[in-house]
Structure 1
């Protein structure tokens, strides 16, 4: 009876999560249709929620089996599981006055303008949080994957990850300078702000889950406290 009840609770828990997500997406689609006469319900324009859940499932399988992926395997999944592509897709819908089919088709293929911020966010996050997350129970991150494959020390692995961040920054800057982007300049700036946010939140440790006063004071000074004149 206890096992059946636990299974029942788990099923209901997931139904609640799905219903909340379903209502949120439909609500956003309703607002877009009302304001721009553009229907998201007749297409698969919010496919990234499916891909995000699949990425979470891959990580869950790795964790439960004790599998340590290569750095390449990890990053092929982790830049999606960091959820930046989902965030940026929603930003496009909410920040663009004139949604175009060209831009949506580009988003569906995961263009570099959403990929590079996701890669950098993931790597910066890993540098700041991987040690604590492993202690709490999580899969190895980019640092540990590199160490496992190459036998490198943690210090060397961290330097390698920093080099990957630097190289990805260069790719991001190159794509921002491209003249043939189907996206409005405001959306490009939003993609860039994802990286700025990552540097702000994780540049000095775990500014998301950490409870230190420094993170709190940064948030207060940025969003709450008035700017002195």
Structure 2
């Protein structure tokens, strides 16, 4: 998650469009030689990502007994890399929108924003550590964005947009769901927020329905996504406690690790 936040900031804040296209292309290549054309700050981040994924693959081989096949990555790592590539492609689209001053309509914004929420990538990556418990079909199911996964991403994206859009617009950022809705429907900020909160409530219903009537995949896999949605309630309930982590988030971490209940 830390590296993903850094990549997100590169697309949102630090990178120019001229830099971001080669950065995205480097992820598509997934090769250390692709870093040679990048600015130094991007090179450091890109090489760190490749190192982390290499370490993940080594751990899968040494601890989970999943070897590479003819020098190629296992299907677990293949899907983990594909999820990261999908994420940076979506980040690039948002960067293009921002640099062009373009405010998309909701039906254009939401499909891309659900990817940049990061939950598809985080779910796939969390599956990797479960090794042989996760079949190839589970990865394909997540990346096909079924209703259960979409509901989780809607909760993450819209809760994030609701608590962070004012700060981000002041800093300079692609339009959030709030601005997209206001622009498309001529709505007030309050009306937009009420509608997005309604959509969040509907997404929770879909997510709970998916847990109560599980798919062919084990509950253990579904709970990975479900718990990510629970986490967003901690970080984004009433405030952006992920970006501004020195108060509520710090207090929670202190309670959990330093002063736990006996």
TM-score relative to the length of structure 2: 0.77
Deviation string 1:157-203 (CA, Å, 9 cap, x unpaired) is 00000011011111112222234332x32222221111111111110
| Contact preservation (8 Å) 1:143, 1:157 | yes
What aligned pairs does 1:174-193 form with structure 2 within 5 A after superposition? Answer: 174-182=209-217, 184-193=218-227
Mapped contact 1:88–1:114 kept (Cα < 8 A)? no
Q: Aligned partners of 1:171, 1:113: CA distance in 2, in Å?
A: 7
Question: How many correspondences in the alignment?
Answer: 221
Which of 25, 32, 40 is residue 60 of structure 2 equivalent to?
Answer: 32
Which one of 223, 230, 238 corresponds to residue 196 of structure 1?
230
In structure 2, relative to structure 1, the CA distance for the partners of 1:93 and 1:37 (3 Å cut) is same
Whether the aligned pair in 1 keeps the contact of 2:120 and 2:153 (CA below 8 Å) is: yes
> Cα distance 1:138–1:42, how it changes in 2: closer, same or farther (>3 A)?
same
Q: Which segment is superposed worse, 148-157 or 94-103?
A: 94-103
Higher relative contact order (CA 8 A, sep 6+): 1
Q: Please say if 1:119 is aligned against 2:154.
A: yes
Unaligned runs of 5+ in 1: 1-6
Flag as ranges the 4+ runs of structure 1 deviating above 6 A.
none
Whole-angstrom distance in 2 between the partners of 1:147 and 1:85: 27
Number of the residue aligned with 2:145: 110
In structure 2, the partner of 1:41 is: 73
> Which one is further off, 217-226 or 76-85?
217-226
What residue is the counterpart of 1:163 in the other structure?
A: 198
**Separation in structure 1 between the aligned mates of residue 195 and residue 206 of structure 2, nearest angstrom:** 17
- Structure 2 vs 1, CA of residues 225 and 56 (structure 1 numbering), >3 Å: closer, same or farther? same
Q: Aligned partners of 1:12, 1:89: CA distance in 2, in Å? A: 29
| Alignment partner of 1:17 is 2:41 | no
CA contact (8 A) 1:91 1:187 kept: no
Instruction: Say whether residues 1:131 and 2:166 are aligned partners.
Output: yes
Q: Considering only aligned residues, what root-mean-square deviation do their CA atoms show, in Å?
A: 2.2
Q: 1:147 aligns with which of 182, 186, 201?
A: 182
| Residue-by-residue CA offset, 1:31-56 (whole Å, 9 max, x unaligned) | 22331325471543120111111111
Deviation at 1:147, TM superposition (A): 0.3
Instruction: Note if contact 2:120-2:143 (Cα within 8 Å) is conserved in structure 1.
Output: no
